[in-house]
Structure 1
Amino acid sequence: MRQATSNPTNTKPSIQSGVVYVIDDDEAIRDSLSLLLNANGFRVSPHESAERFLKSLASSDPQSLSCALVDIHLGGMSGIELQETLLNTGLNIPICFITGQAEIHSAVTAFKKGAFDFIQKPVDEEKLCGLINEMLSKAYLSKEQSSELKEIKERFRLLTQREVDVLDRIVAGRINKEVGMDLGISIKTVEAHRANLMEKLKVNRAAKLLQLTLRYREAKAKGLV
């Protein structure tokens, strides 16, 4: 279990508008968690089932910051099944599972699928609020990274096929003369293509070009762009 590292009153301005989804089929627990979190300055959206939560999520702003407290023993779709559904639809919402039972197997399964944490009822208020801040911070950083990768993807989309051909060879470590021989073009033409692609990618040094290209390719391989 993670240890709380932040005070709920010190929430970053960037995450103050984040929403905490509380999904629990026990009305008393749901209301208790909602009241506790509201009292600590969090925006809360309670739901009695995974199905109702997903229906509500479909009409919400996909760009909004959010995290979720999920009862692992939900009636109908279970907490783990909800986690799988969110992952399959590409919604990377930080999730903390809550349970009244100590279930190591469920905890291991949840963590393998990327759960942020796994805590037991009754929940300690200070630790819970610290955990919520951590999850919203993670959601914020994930969205920042996603926006940055989207911008990088748009830069690479500006490249012509010939510029891509030149870039591939530069990244492979070939000098301008070798690139020209590979592609059957003059060194001056290679230099012109190189200057154009560096301008489009907004880099001014070879090291930056290599770094950006490798980052883009890694993100692409992971399906992030």
Structure 2
Amino acid sequence: MKVLIIEDEPSMREILERALTKERFVVETAEDCSSAMRKFGVYDYDCILLDIMLPDGNGLELLQQIKKMGKKDRVLIISAKDSIDDKVTGLNLGADDYLAKPFHIEELVARVKSLIRRNNNSQTRLSFANIDIDESAFQAFVDDRPLDLSRKEYDILLFFMYRPNRLIHKEALAENVWGDHIDQTDNFDFIYAQIKNVRKKLSESGASAEIKSVYGFGYKFVET
């Protein structure tokens, strides 16, 4: 799952990034409205953490822009401004939740997870063919037998489990599983290596689904 933190205070941004990364989210950050807008134009996110007070604009105005772009990303406003007017305005503009600073990190993480579950129809267990994933435990199963995956292998399989029988471009896969780090590479060899590992483990476990290559495009997760 991919999260964008829009927060201008470096220490708070670092705390949030560390906490959400620990919970196995792919985390990207932006320190102002302009850098956030650049990201919106390229990426989609499962959840956006949005501060109201930003150095080059107002977070509520940024929220309006997000909605005008037709983005479906869940938005959690995090702000030191704990006023009823800000809460009402934010929710009326399309925010999904509002959390005033200071807050407990545990509560923020719980709210992010809740918003993402809501966006995914409250699913915590996914099934396709004879493969299951228990998201609450970060565990994949084939015929109810645990599948031993590394963190990135699990993230790849989870990405496909949400998109069975759909054509997936390799760039979309990379952006969702690796986030900002995708910009630091010149090729996709690391993706090919990870996909190869997932395929091998699915095959050896007796899975009745596989990740097929679609020449010139990317991949498709299908039953065999």
- Tell me the TM-score normalized by structure 2: 0.51
Aligned to 2:91: 111
Contact 2:7 2:32 (C-alpha < 8 Å) held by counterparts? yes
Decide which structure has greater strand share. 2
Identity %: 24
Aligned to 2:32: 49
1:133 to 98, 110, 113: 113
Deviation at 1:126, TM superposition (A): 2.0
Q: Aligned pair count?
A: 123
Deviation at 1:44, TM superposition (A): 0.9
Q: Structure 2 CA distance, aligned partners of 1:81 and 1:126? A: 28
Q: Structure 2 CA distance, aligned partners of 1:58 and 1:114? A: 19
Aligned to 1:95: 75
Q: What is the letter of the counterpart of residue 112 of structure 1? A: N
SS of the residue aligned with 1:59? coil
1:83 to 53, 63, 80: 63
Deviation at 1:112, TM superposition (A): 1.0
Residue 22 in 1 paired to residue 2 in 2? no
Which ranges of structure 1 fall in alignment gaps of 5 or more residues? Answer: 1-17, 148-225
Deviation at 1:76, TM superposition (A): 1.5
Residue 33 in 1 paired to residue 16 in 2? yes
Deviations 1:110-164 (A, max 9, x none): 011121111122221221111111121233349xxxx9xxxxxxxxxxxxxxxxx
Contact 1:67 1:139 (C-alpha < 8 Å) held by counterparts? no
Distance 1:43 1:123, change over 3 A: farther
Which ranges of structure 2 fall in alignment gaps of 5 or more residues? Answer: 123-162, 164-224
The higher-RCO structure (CA 8 Å, 6+ apart) is 1
Q: Structure 1 CA distance, aligned partners of 2:40 and 2:66? A: 10
Taking only aligned residues, the RMSD between alpha carbons, in angstroms, comes to 1.9
Q: Structure 2 CA distance, aligned partners of 1:23 and 1:103? A: 20
Give the number of the structure whose alpha-carbon radius of gyration is greater. 1
Deviation at 1:40, TM superposition (A): 2.0
Q: What is the letter of the counterpart of residue 108 of structure 1? A: V
Deviation at 1:86, TM superposition (A): 0.8
Deviation at 1:48, TM superposition (A): 0.4
Deviations 1:155-205 (A, max 9, x none): xxxxxxxxxxxxxxxxxxxxxxxxxxxxxxxxxxxxxxxxxxxxxxxxxxx
Q: Structure 1 CA distance, aligned partners of 2:72 and 2:54? A: 20
Q: What is the letter of the counterpart of residue 37 of structure 2? A: L
SS of the residue aligned with 2:8? coil
Decide which structure has greater helix share. 1
Aligned to 2:100: 120
Q: Structure 2 CA distance, aligned partners of 1:43 and 1:123? A: 22
